[in-house]
Amino acid sequence: MLSARLGWPTFNMDKAIVEEAGMSIPQIVKIHGWNFFRDLETKIAHQAGKKDRTIIDAGGGVVIRPENVRMLRQNSVVVWLKADPATIISRIKDDTERPSLTGSKSFLEEVEEVLEERTPMYKKASDFEVETGSISPEEVTERILKYLAGKI
């Protein structure tokens, strides 16, 4: 919706990683491991950070490496789309392209643990936060547009 409203293209980092690797994210992780995936993510973050007037759809783990955040912030406004664990689970539960981060915990435990670990990183990386759990995608778009009105 934001892309359509601004007339800007969207660059999906996960799709770019899949294209770069020639295999799905679960395959990348299974065959090469998480470090290899994170290395590809960093390469793609460097590409994304050079784009102008583009909506960059970054995976939640992009904040793990400060270098990725630096690359994305050099030419971008970073918006953190926040949600509580239950909302996140309802949104991603059927996504077969999301490999387990731990391999041993329940989905809820994993989401809660990841949020606890990454929340400080998200706060530090973001210019603006939108709590998405109780509002529609249209309202999320409107809030981002209002924020951007003073930035573009």
Run of H or E residues at 56: strand 55-57
The reported pLDDT for the residue numbered 89 is: 83
The reported pLDDT for the residue numbered 151 is: 73
> pLDDT tens track of the chain, all 152 residues?
999 999 999 999 999 999 999 999 999 999 999 999 999 999 999 999 999 999 999 989 999 999 999 999 998 999 999 998 888 888 887 766 666 666 667 777 888 888 999 999 999 999 999 999 999 999 999 999 999 998 75
Number of domains within the chain:
1
User: Which CATH number do you get for residue 103?
Assistant: 3.40.50.300
Domain assignment of residue 94, given as a range: 2-149
Q: Which amino acid is residue 34, in one-letter code?
A: W
CA distances from 77 to 4, 33, 150 (A): 17, 30, 11
The token pair at 90 is: 């309802």
The reported pLDDT for the residue numbered 123 is: 96
**Rounded CA separation 68/74 (Å):** 10
The reported pLDDT for the residue numbered 110 is: 84
